[in-house]
Structure 1
Amino acid sequence: MKKILLLGGSAQQVVAIEKAKELGYYTVLCDYLTDNPGQHHADKFYLLSTTDKEAVLEIAKKEAIDGIVAYASDPAAPTAAYVSEQLGLSTNPYQSVETLCNKDKFRKFLLDNGFNSPKANGYTSVEAALNDITKYQLPIIIKPVDSSGSKGVTVVRTLDNVEVAINFAFKFSRGKRIVVEEFIEKKHPYLVGGDIFVKDGQVILWGLLNCHRDNNVNSLVPVGKSYPLTLTEENINNIKTTLQLIVDKLEFKTGAMNIELIVDKNNRVFPIDIGPRNGGNMIPELLANIFNVDVVEMTIQSAMGNDFTVLMNNDKGYYATYNLHSSKDGIFNQIQYHESLKPFIMRECIYKEPGAQVEFFDNAAKALGILFLKFDTKEQMDQYMGNMETYIDVILD
């Protein structure tokens, strides 16, 4: 039986473990958390940090694995690429993965290769960042170079709170590096988010989605996705051209890429973040609904070096996900839905049990669960997704 090593066993990563087992592979899991749910699904579990490249390499050698996946995990993606290169397994270039997983390196890559990019620079100390801060035109964004889910990110519109924002970003950086960049005003209400999938160096799946935010709680944290993308065909084609060119320049050959871009008011495409992995918040499951493809299976087979066929069948529906969350701390009781919303709910995934601690939603890791929705019209989708707080009530004790 062939073996696959999976890096990360959170609730959202269990789907990859289960899919690998369904495909007949022996599953080996690494995670540094003692209470990760994935350990109860995998065939074998090691309590180990997924960012410790050498330690993971030793496990991979010991288990004689045939493939490795860092499903929906930016921190673990470089480890997966490093170990795969060392063992001659299916992978993308380690240096390219490193570039994508570090925001300052990615900004330099964009500038060096002629892509649109906001003025930006990386810093390793609070003092260095403060010394340069007047060189930027406000507003600016300050964020860790190596975080995901909007952890440690602040939009700064005046210099009054800039030092607080810098320290906040450093708090969430594993490598103690941050990036400061100028803020790009977008053309339409949403950032462009979602996943694409690459096979033999070509993008074969364009999972381009509207990326929603909850301005009443935190305007930086993704609160949902919707499809189809509400941009012109010209804008969409420019996005596709930009992404394929990035794939080409990085010599990215196989697997999922989680993307976030902005189209500015001059119709220029600005890549903001591109992760060499599947998106979090169950984006692969949403794309499965939209295109009738199994993105998780594609990911597993890609990592195992196997060929696979993709036959997409988009039914032209209006699909969305919504990240269930709380605007305050408390003890979870239940979630109630307005009667008018219920007919559009396809699936409900709740992470919390009654009595569990709930925290204010200031990063994606604090979501309470995911709601999958399908609407009949764009007007319905816009109405509900734009006012979801009036249709969902999170009850706390």
Structure 2
Amino acid sequence: MTQTALLLCATHNDLGLIRALKKLGYYIIATGTKIDPLGHNWVDEWILADYSDKEKILSIAKEKNIDVICQCCNDFGIYTASYVAEKIGLPGYDPYETILTLHNKDKFKAFAKEYDIVTPEALYFTSEEEAMRVIPQMKLPIIVKPVDASAGNGIGKVEDAEDIEGAVRHAFENSRASRIVAEPYITGKQYGFCTFLLNKKVVAVASNNEYSFENPYRVEVDTWPADKFEECKDTLISQIEKMAEILNLNDGIFHLQYIYADGKPWIIEVMRRVLGNMYSVLSNPLNGFDWDYWETRAKCGLDCSGFPVNMEQKGFYAYKTVLAQENGIIETIKVPDEYRNFIFDEYWVKKTGDEIINCLNEPIGFLFMMFRNRAEMEDVLITNYRCDLVTMKG
């Protein structure tokens, strides 16, 4: 008898999960407030429901008598999936409180301090008044963040005292939990470090440089593998395995972001979910296996003992997020000729005639590229960065 999987979202970032669920033979019910055209074609049933509403999703899970629940590419998706799994006894997920500890910045900072995880020490606040009493006493520059937002939403760097109030207000406005953190701003290069845990041990790594141009807090270009991988891998793997042991983590993806400064990696974010910007389109060929398939097996509670253990990263890969320079109606989208020799795939979220409301956070498309070496990759995408792929009407 075919089993039923509840997938919490079906946008472009979740297509790999849909393919994996199909490969595993599940009947797929997807939720969300929007759905990618491909996602709509591939799932068996779609229910209009906000996946961040834990009780609503729990009600759907019970009504549909689901067998497994599959998170999506969003922190609120992993919150809900873990919550529902815990409530009705589904496999594959860490306890709900563990997920909150890892994904809520204030809870993670407290955990990191207690167990000596290398991360900038932060102060936490539950009201603007409290924040405004304490933050002016901090040494600048600092960075202020909501505890529960992603994709750079609500983040602000403060270099001058007169900017503190605006940064605090902006962070609170973007926090559903009405909590923020403030921590020292570390100057350095930012990286991603995606691992797969099997029996609490790291058995695969995809590492990448992260570049932000138009929006300083939203990653726009990733390049694989990271140029500081050898310097950082032992420290980061040991830190991840330490957290896995302390928290008794289940199999599956454990991703972190870090800044390399003062000769060491400083962990700034951790997460237990698939990644945005269609990350696996490039991590799959880099490592030689399907990350989404194995993450889906893990979250469905299936045996992962056959995981193709592989710590190697082969090749040079990158994606570029295509963004508009301003809000309005898209008039043209043109990929430069100098990109064409390197593109092996592309995916378009928007098209000509579509409206852009928030140009700093609305991807128009993604270009996936392969290069012969790191120097070529950095020359094309970083040294000769292009921001003129999109023109707007009027």
TM-score, normalised relative to structure 2? 0.93
2:246 is aligned with 1:245: no
Secondary structure in 1 aligned to 2:75?
Answer: coil
Query: Retained in 1: the 8 A contact 2:322–2:389?
Result: no
Shift of 1:393: 2.1
User: Which segment is superposed worse, 342-351 or 110-119?
Assistant: 110-119
One-letter amino acid matched to 1:209 = N
Query: Retained in 1: the 8 A contact 2:29–2:46?
Result: yes
List per-residue Cα deviations over 1:111-151 (Å, max 9, x = no partner). 01112232312212111111111232111111111011001
List per-residue Cα deviations over 1:230-275 (Å, max 9, x = no partner). 116232221222222222222211222232112221x233211111
The aligned length equals 388
Aligned-pair Cα RMSD in Å = 2.0
2:372 is aligned with 1:376: yes
Q: What's 2:208 paired with?
A: 209
List per-residue Cα deviations over 1:198-227 (Å, max 9, x = no partner). 22222222111111111xx22221012111
Distance 1:313 1:196 in 2: 9
Listed as ranges, the gaps of 5+ residues in structure 1 are none
Of 232, 235, 245 in structure 1, the residue corresponding to residue 232 of structure 2 is 235
2:349 is aligned with 1:351: yes
Secondary structure in 1 aligned to 2:208?
Answer: strand
Alignment of 1:1-397 (within 5 A): 1-31=2-32, 33=33, 37=37, 38-90=39-91, 91-186=93-188, 190-214=189-213, 217-231=214-228, 233-265=230-262, 267-308=263-304, 309-311=306-308, 312=310, 316-363=314-361, 366-387=362-383, 389-390=385-386, 393-397=389-393
Secondary structure in 2 aligned to 1:49?
Answer: coil
Distance 2:49 2:237 in 1: 38
Shift of 1:392: 5.3
Query: Retained in 2: the 8 A contact 1:152–1:169?
Result: yes
Distance 2:246 2:312 in 1: 29
Query: Retained in 2: the 8 A contact 1:195–1:284?
Result: no
One-letter amino acid matched to 2:74 = S
CA shift in 2, pair 1:388/1:82, >3 Å = farther
User: Which segment is superposed worse, 382-391 or 246-255?
Assistant: 382-391
Shift of 1:321: 1.0
Distance 1:130 1:324 in 2: 37
One-letter amino acid matched to 1:371 = L
Distance 2:191 2:386 in 1: 25
Secondary structure in 2 aligned to 1:173?
Answer: coil
One-letter amino acid matched to 2:228 = L
Distance 2:229 2:290 in 1: 28
Distance 2:243 2:266 in 1: 12
CA shift in 2, pair 1:252/1:334, >3 Å = farther
Matched residues, percent identical? 28
User: Which segment is superposed worse, 335-344 or 37-46?
Assistant: 37-46
One-letter amino acid matched to 2:5 = I
TM-score, normalised relative to structure 1? 0.92
CA shift in 2, pair 1:293/1:334, >3 Å = farther
Distance 1:36 1:321 in 2: 20
Distance 1:24 1:213 in 2: 39
CA shift in 2, pair 1:392/1:250, >3 Å = farther
Query: Retained in 1: the 8 A contact 2:256–2:269?
Result: yes
List per-residue Cα deviations over 1:294-351 (Å, max 9, x = no partner). 1111122112211242334957211111111122112113322332221111111110
CA shift in 2, pair 1:345/1:289, >3 Å = same
Query: Retained in 1: the 8 A contact 2:325–2:387?
Result: no
CA shift in 2, pair 1:313/1:118, >3 Å = closer
CA shift in 2, pair 1:29/1:374, >3 Å = same
Distance 1:283 1:43 in 2: 25
Distance 1:9 1:270 in 2: 33
Query: Retained in 1: the 8 A contact 2:326–2:392?
Result: no
One-letter amino acid matched to 1:274 = V
Secondary structure in 2 aligned to 1:222?
Answer: coil
Distance 1:93 1:172 in 2: 25
Shift of 1:277: 0.4
Distance 1:25 1:289 in 2: 25
One-letter amino acid matched to 1:285 = V
CA shift in 2, pair 1:323/1:388, >3 Å = farther
Shift of 1:355: 0.4
Distance 2:230 2:295 in 1: 28
Listed as ranges, the gaps of 5+ residues in structure 2 are none
Secondary structure in 1 aligned to 2:301?
Answer: coil
Secondary structure in 2 aligned to 1:181?
Answer: strand
List per-residue Cα deviations over 1:349-376 (Å, max 9, x = no partner). 110021001245433xx11111111111
Query: Retained in 1: the 8 A contact 2:9–2:35?
Result: no
Secondary structure in 1 aligned to 2:12?
Answer: coil
